[in-house]
Amino acid sequence: MTDIFSPAWMQAFAEQWNAEPELADALAKIDFNSVIGYGFEADVNPAGVLTVEAGRVVFAGAYDGQKMNWDLRADREHWQQWKIKGLNMMGLSMAYISRKLQFRLGDYTAMIKDPRMASPFIKSFAVMCRV
């Protein structure tokens, strides 16, 4: 099993992301462009990063100093749990409020209030379950 957020895992995540219409196509409709870091709360930098252009991942791999728009952090146990079970809107809200999921960069409040972004964000956790 490939370690979560390793370069190989990020590549597999990108393939699944791009193959999911409720994620890639939905974000393409709003011309979503972003660099998203994923990592562990105790680390200074994220472990992995996705570069998304017009909803599709164009780069997936290790974080190497890229300027990010989003930096999502949690402990390994919670990432593994969400990777297995996914995350729904209620679970996302609870994870955010309890600081189990941290947004070191990015505007959680603006994202969650915009269904064009919130639904694909939730879908990204379902896509993680496929990796």
Count how many domains the chain has. 1
- Whether 78 maps to a domain, the answer reads yes
Per the prediction, the chain carries an average pLDDT of: 95
Q: pTM here?
A: 0.94
- Whether 28 maps to a domain, the answer reads yes
Domain of residue 47: give its range: 7-128
- Whether 70 maps to a domain, the answer reads yes
- Whether 2 maps to a domain, the answer reads no
- Whether 20 maps to a domain, the answer reads yes
pLDDT tens string 58-101:
999 999 999 999 999 999 999 999 999 999 999 999 999 999 99
- Whether 1 maps to a domain, the answer reads no
The CATH number of whichever domain residue 118 belongs to comes to: 3.30.1050.10
Long-range CB contacts (< 8 A, 24+ apart) of 5-8? Answer: 5/38, 5/39, 5/40, 5/46, 5/47, 5/48, 5/79, 6/47, 6/48, 6/62, 7/48, 7/60, 7/61, 7/62
pLDDT score of 23:
97
